[in-house]
Amino acid sequence: MLLEHISCDLCGSNTYRVRYRKPDNWLRRTLFQFPVVECLECSLVYVNPRPTIESMRAFYPGDYHSNRDTDEHIQRYKVQASMLPGIENGKVLDIGCANGDFLGYLLDQGSDFEAYGIDALSESVGNTRIQFKKSVLTDAGYPDNYFDFVMAWAVFEHLHHPKQYFEEVSRILKPGKQLLILVTNSESIYGRYAGTEDVPRHTYHFSRKTLSRYGRESGLRLSELIFNDDIFDGRGMGLFGKALSRLVGLTWEVEMLNKQRFYQRIMGQIGRVIDRVLFGAHWEARLGLSGIMVARFVKD
């Protein structure tokens, strides 16, 4: 694994503070604890150092895009579809479309639009109604002012250069049209304290402040933020489970190696019960604190 130290993608500063450190506790392919830092100039939160693009491939298993047409995903597609503007007879681009399942869902519902999908990790899309490119967005070569709507669901937090994507979307989107992205909220309990962010795959974590600046510097106006736990769960679940475990000496390394002592497991279980009670009512989304948010931008 090769790591790279980077400057802030948003403002270029090299000054930051470390918020926390976290290993890849999903695939568990390394014990390295990736620092999640906050820029002291603009408050952008990101992983630094992070794996290079080539090294990052190890953190995406071959079936990463599989099984996204299950009932669970269909339910979230329904919620996503409810947030879309009018797309009839327009050109619609889905960035990070994976296997094209969401575009296919929209087409199957009778929507009449030109469907375009792009993904750097997918080899192809089986749906012939979707014009697909295997590419990063900045290499795709779409014409200026081409699309009537652009969307990206849980994509921008995975990028190595989000600013380049904001700028490219601004170039290819028609004036007056919308960009809709689902990203993680760096100012939530989920993002700041619960250890829920999918590090290192989530290389950037956003806020209203940083999203507004990304848009402003790219020719896009942030018009709406929607906090929602119905697409992905953005609750602070894990806050007390983690806190009580750490209180009795459980470290990330011990947890990753599955060498917890009995009393550490018990404390973790107690914390998880507290989590289920405290966060069961989805109050964070109602207060605008959910770890998952959908940002709507308009190209003026």
- The answer to whether position 127 is within a domain reads yes
State the CATH number of the domain containing residue 172. 3.40.50.150
pLDDT of 62 reads 81
Phi-psi region of 275 (alpha: psi -120 to 50; beta: other; left: phi over 0): alpha
Number of CB atoms found within 10 A of residue 266's CB: 14
Say if residue 149 is in the same domain as residue 183: yes
Please give the residue range of the domain that contains residue 256.
Answer: 239-279
pLDDT of 66 reads 72
Q: What is each CA distance from 211 to 68, 73, 149, in whole angstroms?
A: 28, 26, 18
Say if residue 108 is in the same domain as residue 184: yes
- The answer to whether position 202 is within a domain reads no
- The answer to whether position 51 is within a domain reads yes
pLDDT of 141 reads 96
Q: Is the dihedral of CA 132, 138, 141, 146 positive or negative?
A: positive
Report the run of H or E that residue 130 belongs to, with start and end.
strand 130-134
Secondary structure letter of residue 282 according to DSSP: -
Say if residue 91 is in the same domain as residue 227: yes
Residue 218 one-letter amino acid: S
Instruction: Please give the chain's pLDDT, 300 residues, in tens.
Output: 999 999 999 999 999 999 999 999 999 999 999 999 999 999 999 999 999 999 999 999 887 777 667 778 899 999 999 999 999 999 999 999 998 999 999 999 998 999 999 999 888 888 999 999 999 999 999 999 999 999 999 999 999 999 999 999 999 999 999 999 999 999 999 999 998 999 999 999 999 999 999 999 999 999 999 998 999 999 999 999 999 999 999 999 999 999 999 999 999 999 999 999 999 999 999 999 999 999 999 999
The angle, 0 to 180 degrees and rounded to 10, between the axes of the packed helices 239-247 and 262-279 is 150
Say if residue 79 is in the same domain as residue 20: no
Say if residue 43 is in the same domain as residue 170: no
Say if residue 76 is in the same domain as residue 192: yes
Say if residue 54 is in the same domain as residue 89: no
Q: Which two tokens stand for residue 244?
A: 């009580």
Say if residue 110 is in the same domain as residue 227: yes
pTM attached to this predicted model = 0.94
Say if residue 269 is in the same domain as residue 224: no
Say if residue 25 is in the same domain as residue 86: no
State the CATH number of the domain containing residue 10. 2.20.25
Say if residue 43 is in the same domain as residue 85: no
* Ranges of H-type helices in the chain: 53-56, 71-82, 101-108, 162-172, 189-192, 208-218, 239-247, 252-256, 262-279, 283-286
Q: What torsion, rounded to 10 degrees, do the Cα atoms 32, 275, 294, 210 define?
A: -50
Report how many domains make up the chain.
3
